[in-house]
Amino acid sequence: MIRAMFVLILLFSLLVNVYAETFTYPAKITIDDKQYVVPKDWSKYFSHYYSDVDGDGNDELVVRIVGDVGGRLHIHNALTLIYEVKDSARTLLAAFVGGEVPKKTELKDVNNDGIADIVAYDNSGMHYTQITIYSYSDGMYKKIFEQGTSCSMYSVDNRESPTIITIGRPDWDNPEFNYSNSDKRSLKEVYIWNGKEFVYSPEKSSVTFTGIREKGVN
């Protein structure tokens, strides 16, 4: 009898866990008057996270999906959606368009305000990785950093204060340089949080900063 009850409790627990992990991604989303269709065949790139990203003591829902604007070219974009969750209802608080396909997501405090920020890594093209950071301040979610690289070396390190962002840059003067070994041979472009924004650090960088780099260009 006791064994049968234990089995029933175990089965019930497994069902509860499966139900709790069930999540339905939106089929469509409109951002800045442009409608994105969410293709199910790209679902392996989808992810969602629960974290307090505005400091109100309650977890928000952060969703990372692929959005297709349609047409013959089927242009894909990585979308970052932030929802308020109350009971079973979701209210969209903010939505951002990033690179082409979500690659990785980190939720960590990068601006030292005690609130988790959203660090989004997106793939674009064959080699390019776009790094974008979204943060909550002054009552809204804002983009506080956006850069990218065709190198495999990049990091957002907040283990010490202030946070340091390192972006790899190609060394075209090195005849042996290629993307496969760029994590060791890349030049370094370093940014440091100064209390208001991330600024280029000439002391820690090994490449000269030439101004705001265009998306997808090194």
The model's pLDDT over 166-201, given as tens digits with 9 standing for 90+, comes to 999 988 888 888 877 778 889 999 999 999 999 999
Q: Which backbone phi and psi does 207 adopt, to 5 degrees?
A: -140, 145
Please say if the pLDDT value at position 102 is more than 90: yes
Residue 11 included in any domain: no
Residue pointed to by tokens 């780099």 = 213
- Across the chain, mean pLDDT equals 86
Residue 15 included in any domain: no
Please say if the pLDDT value at position 139 is more than 90: yes
Q: How far apart are CA 146 and CA 154, in angstroms?
A: 13
pLDDT bin (cut points 50, 70, 90) of residue 15 is very low
Percent of the chain with pLDDT over 90: 68
Residue 174 included in any domain: yes
Retrieve residue 91's tokens: 């209210």
Residue 38 included in any domain: yes
Q: How far apart are CA 82 and CA 31, in angstroms?
A: 12
Q: What is the pLDDT of residue 1?
A: 54
Q: What is the pLDDT of residue 5?
A: 47
Q: How far apart are CA 150 and CA 102, in angstroms?
A: 16
Number of structural domains (the chain) is: 1
DSSP string over 80-103: EEEEEEETTEEEEEEEEE-SSEEE
Phi-psi region of 77 (alpha: psi -120 to 50; beta: other; left: phi over 0): beta
Residue 84 included in any domain: yes
Q: What is the pLDDT of residue 183?
A: 81
Q: How far apart are CA 154 and CA 165, in angstroms?
A: 7
Q: Domain of 137?
A: 27-200
Q: From residue 151, how far is each of 21, 129, 170, 176, 191 by CA, in Å?
A: 35, 8, 7, 14, 16
Q: How far apart are CA 31 and CA 52, in angstroms?
A: 23
> What predicted TM-score, i.e. pTM, was given to this entire model?
0.85
Please say if the pLDDT value at position 3 is more than 50: yes
pLDDT bin (cut points 50, 70, 90) of residue 203 is very high
Which has more confidence, 52 or 126? 52
Residue 93 included in any domain: yes
**Mean pLDDT across the stretch 94-121?**
97
Q: What is the pLDDT of residue 7?
A: 40
Please say if the pLDDT value at position 212 is more than 80: no
Residue 5 included in any domain: no
Q: What is the pLDDT of residue 215?
A: 43
Q: What is the pLDDT of residue 144?
A: 97
The model's pLDDT over 25-83, given as tens digits with 9 standing for 90+, comes to 999 999 999 999 999 999 999 999 999 999 999 999 999 999 998 766 678 999 999 99
Q: What is the pLDDT of residue 27?
A: 94
Q: How far is CA 25 from the centre of its chain?
A: 17
pLDDT bin (cut points 50, 70, 90) of residue 12 is very low
| End-to-end CA gap in the chain | 69
